[in-house]
Homo-oligomer: A and B are copies of this chain.
Amino acid sequence: MADTKVYRASTTAPVNIAVVKYVEPLRPDERIRKGNQARESITNHHPSPSRYWGKRDAKLNLPTNSSLSVTLSQSDLRTLTTASCSSTYTGDDSLLLNGEPSDVSGARTQACFRELRARRAALESANAALPKLSTFPLKIVSENNFPTAAGLASSAAGFAALVQAIANLYELPDSPSELSLVARQGSGSACRSLFGGYVAWRMGEKEDGSDSKADLVAPASHWPGMRALILVVSASKKGVSSTSGMQQTVATSGLFQQRISTIVPANMALMEDAIKNRNFPQFAEVTMRDSNSFHATCADTYPPIFYMNDVSKAAIRAVEAINAQAGKTVAAYTFDAGPNCVVYYQEEDAATVLGAFAPILAAAEGWKDGSVVNASVKLDEGIAGTIKEGVSRVIMTGVGEGPLKTDEFLVAEDGTPVKR
- In angstroms, how far is the closest chain B Cβ from the Cβ of A294? 9
A289 surroundings in chain B (CB, below 8 A): 43, 46, 254, 302
* Binary flags per residue of A235-263, CB closer than 8 Å to B gives 1, else 0: 00001110100100000011101110011
A303 engages B281 (CB within 8 Å): no
Q: Does any Cβ of B come within 8 Å of A321's Cβ?
A: yes
Instruction: Tell me the bound Cα distance from A413 to B255 in angstroms.
Output: 56
Interface with B: A130-138, A223-231, A311-319, which one? A311-319
Task: Assess whether B47 is in contact with A263, with CB atoms less than 8 Å apart.
Answer: yes
CB of A35 within 8 A of CB of B321, answer: yes
Within the assembled complex, what's the spacing in Å between the Cα atoms of A241 and B313?
Answer: 7
Mark interface residues in A78-113 (1 if CB within 8 Å of B CB, else 0): 000000000000000000000000000000000000
Number of A residues contacting the other chain (C-beta, 8 Å)? 60
Contact at A320–B255, with CB atoms within 8 Å? no
Option from B288, B300, B310 in Cβ contact (under 8 Å) with A240: B310
- Picked from B34, B255, B285, B325, the residue with its CB within 8 Å of the CB of A43 is B285
Docked complex: A292-312 residues within 8 A CB-CB of B: 292-293, 295-297, 299-304, 306, 309-310
Contacts of A329 in B (CB 8 A): 39, 42
Q: What is the distance, in angstroms, from A245's C-beta to the closest C-beta of chain B?
A: 10
Chain B neighbourhood of A221, CB < 8 A: none
- Name A315's closest neighbour in chain B (CB-CB): B240
Residue A397 lies at the interface, judged by CB distance under 8 Å to chain B: no
Is the C-beta of A234 less than 8 angstroms from some C-beta in chain B? no
Contacts of A301 in B (CB 8 A): 292
Q: How far in angstroms is the closest Cβ of chain B from A265?
A: 9
Check if B304 sits within 8 Å of A316, measured CB to CB: yes
Q: Does A75 contact B (CB under 8 A)?
A: no
**Chain B residues with CB below 8 A from A267, complex form:** 46
A35-B323, A255-B259, A255-B300 given; name 13 further pairs at CB < 8 Å: A39-B323, A47-B266, A240-B383, A240-B386, A254-B259, A255-B263, A289-B302, A295-B299, A296-B296, A296-B297, A303-B320, A306-B313, A309-B310
10 residue pairs of the A-B complex, CB under 8 angstroms, read A35-B323, A36-B320, A43-B285, A246-B320, A255-B255, A255-B296, A255-B297, A292-B301, A303-B316, A309-B310
| Chain A contact residues, CB within 8 Å of chain B | 34-36, 39, 41-43, 45-47, 239-241, 243, 246, 253-255, 257-259, 262-263, 266-267, 270, 281-282, 285-286, 288-289, 292-293, 295-297, 299-304, 306, 309-310, 313-314, 316-317, 320-321, 323-325, 329, 380, 382-383, 386
The 8 A-B residue pairs with the shortest CB-CB distance in the complex, in nearest-first order:
A35-B324, A296-B300, A258-B258, A296-B296, A255-B255, A254-B263, A296-B299, A310-B310
